[in-house]
Amino acid sequence: MTDIFRIFRLLLVIVVNYLLLSFNLWKWAPDLFLIQSLLAIVILKEPPGIYYFVFKGFLIDLFFSDLSIPYTLTFFIIGLFLKFSKINWIQKSLVEQVTLILLVSYFLNLLLSTVNTYSIENELRFLVNPFINAFVWILIFLNQRKKWLKNI
C-alpha cells in the first residue's frame, strides 16, 4: 500500500511541477522531486530501494525531458548512495548533506540544460536552484534534529 501512496505523491508533485513550468516559476522554485525524496528519507526509517528511485527518475524524464537521462541518472545515483549509507550518518552531518545536495543539484541542472530545450533559457536556475534546494534541506534538518538526536 505504501508503494501506491509513493506513486500517487509522485504524480501530485509532477502536476505541481508542470504548473510551475507553465507559469514560468520553475527557475525560482526548488527541485520538487529532490525535495520529495529528501522528505521521504526524513519520514521513513528505511529509504525506498534503488528500483523505486530509477522508476521515479524515469517517470519524471518521461513527463519533463526530451531524453530519459537527467532525472533517471540522478535518482539512480541518489538511490545508490542511500542504499550504501547509514541513516544515522545522514541524520548527523549537515555540512556533508548540504555539500551533496549542492553537487547533485548542479549535476542535475547541468544535465537538464544540455538535454532539454526548455532549460536553455533558464541559466538562472543553474545558479539559484542548488542553493534553494540546500536551504530547504537546512530547514528540514533544523526542524527534525531534536527527533533525530533522540533516535541516535
Q: What is the mean pLDDT of each run of 10 residues along the chain (152 residues)?
A: 78 90 82 85 76 89 82 88 68 77 87 69 76 88 72 51
Query: Would the CA dihedral through 148, 48, 46, 104 be positive or negative?
Result: negative
CB contact at 8 A, 1 and 10: no
pTM over 0.85: no
Radius of gyration of the chain (CA): 15
Q: Which triple of cell numbers denotes residue 73?
A: 541518472
CA count, 13 A, side-chain hemisphere, 143: 9
Domain ranges of the chain: 2-151
Displacement of CA 137 from its chain's centroid (Å): 10
pLDDT at 1: 47
